[in-house]
Structure 1
Amino acid sequence: MRPLTLTMTATALALLTALPAAADRSDAEIKALVLEAIRENPEIVMEAVGLIQAEEAEAAAAAAQAALDDGRGALEADPNAPVLGNPDGDVTVVEFFDYNCPYCRRAGDEVKQVLALDEDVRVVMREWPILGEASVFAARAALAAREQDAYDRMHEALMSAPGRLDEDSVMRIAAELELDTDRLRSDMEGEAVQAHIDQSMRLAQSLGFSGTPSFVIGDQTAPGLVEAAQMLDMIDAVRDGG
């Protein structure tokens, strides 16, 4: 989005230069008219800014919808993405998250409530480590735990761990879960792990997400924390064809 001051000036300038009388004026005269217009009619400029922002929001929403339509398979049926809940559920929730994001930890509790209340929901987990190298390490460890049939347990342990995760705490958790930590470190470098993270980055960018947590439910995108009641409403809307 354009900076507000630049948008105001550009809008006022566009309005002035559109007038026939402005065509024969010098740049200095036009700039003076712009400043005068801003001083005398700030509400007009702000209305124009609002229109531009609305157009940009509409364009972003259209781009996100196109990304949803084009990437539905990658979002909901990626065989390289872990699934929680009912793998054969009739509604899919896609969650983008980072283990070091406190809001993701709260979102995880909301998702657990949803799964406890609705047995026909499947949740596709998109590891999206955007909060530094420690987050990348945690995501790699969780994805690698799949090779030991321990993703669910590792995910839950990482999400419920106190404080910020780092390499030492992640490996300590893996040891407490009785995973083969040497194998885990080796599997963390696997192609499937990197492919999942890369895919998450591409999908999040195409959907216009800028932070975690972020959700996709049917044709609805929901950046930010979504409480269980709201998520259930969105799930019902998918079932109702909305």
Structure 2
Amino acid sequence: MNTCSKIPKYYWRCSRPLENRQREQQAEAQQTVLKERTNDIFNSPHDGVIGNPDASVTVVEFFDYNCGFCKRAMSDMQALLEENDDVRFVLKEFPILSAESREAHVVSAALHAVAPDKYAEFHQKLMGSDARADGELAISIASELGIDETALRKEMENPNIQKTFAETYELANQLAVTGTPAYVVGNEVVFGALGKDVLSDKIEQARKQSN
């Protein structure tokens, strides 16, 4: 699976029927969460949005700025948005790989609060950087975009940022998301950087479900 994760994985020898049942139980639990926490997943005011804000189809991505697979998947997002004017990506700040990742995501969340119109450009510049993402790099990119550093640093101290991270971790746990990238498309949770074609198929399925 093409995901980055620092969450430990444990393996058991299981019979195939037991494995199948476990997958069924996970899918059932995910469907319950998708129904009960629809607004938290698709419409949280704390999440950045790239694409048409009034789109008929939403792709939710859990990402970490230092995830190599997330970096590769960004081109998939860009291509899909170019081809679909009725798709939006909702980006869940999910720093799980390192302390540097958390620093970068704090800046990202603060920037979304003080200058949401700059978020998409900031996200793509930071995710597209070859350098390791941390707080210093994130602030540097924000400054290049004309963001007031004093206002940004003040917002970085807002306790709501850490609260939002905790809520995202809880949501990810409920959806069995243990690595990045992970997506929610329609009523399906998709794990890994599966490529543009797979995501495009998932988007079409979600579009049919919504009609």
Q: TM bucket by the smaller chain?
A: 0.7 to 0.9
TM-score, with length taken from structure 2: 0.88
1:118 aligns with 2:118: no
Q: Secondary structure at the match of 1:241?
A: helix
Q: Matched residues in 1 for 2:151 and 2:31: separation?
A: 40
Pick the aligned partner of 1:3 from 12, 21, 39: 12
Alpha-carbon offset, residue 74 of structure 1: 0.8
Asked whether the equivalents of residues 80 and 192 of structure 1 are also in contact (C-alpha less than 8 Å), the reply is: no
- Quote the residue 2:135 is aligned against: 167
Equivalent residue letter for 1:206? Q
Q: Matched residues in 2 for 1:115 and 1:2: separation?
A: 38
1:132 aligns with 2:98: yes
1:63 aligns with 2:72: no
Which shows bigger deviation, 185-194 or 124-133? 185-194
Mark the structure with the bigger radius of gyration: 1
Q: Relative contact order (alpha carbons < 8 A, sep ≥ 6): 1 or 2 greater?
A: 2
Q: Secondary structure at the match of 1:240?
A: helix
Equivalent pairs, count: 199
1:51 aligns with 2:7: no
List structure 1 runs of 4+ shifted beyond 3 angstroms. none
- Quote the residue 1:203 is aligned against: 171
Q: Please state which structure has a larger fraction of its residues in helix.
A: 1
Alpha-carbon offset, residue 191 of structure 1: 3.6
Which shows bigger deviation, 194-203 or 135-144? 194-203
Q: Matched residues in 1 for 2:95 and 2:164: separation?
A: 11
Structure 2, unmatched stretches of 5+, are 1-9
CA 107–172 in structure 1, closer or farther in 2 if over 3 Å, else same: same
Aligned CA-pair RMSD: 1.7
Alpha-carbon offset, residue 2 of structure 1: 6.3
Equivalent residue letter for 1:3? W
Alpha-carbon offset, residue 166 of structure 1: 2.3
Asked whether the equivalents of residues 181 and 193 of structure 2 are also in contact (C-alpha less than 8 Å), the reply is: yes
Structure 1, unmatched stretches of 5+, are 8-48
1:223 aligns with 2:197: no
Alpha-carbon offset, residue 142 of structure 1: 1.0
Alpha-carbon offset, residue 190 of structure 1: 1.4
Q: Secondary structure at the match of 1:96?
A: strand
- Quote the residue 1:43 is aligned against: none
Equivalent residue letter for 1:65? Q
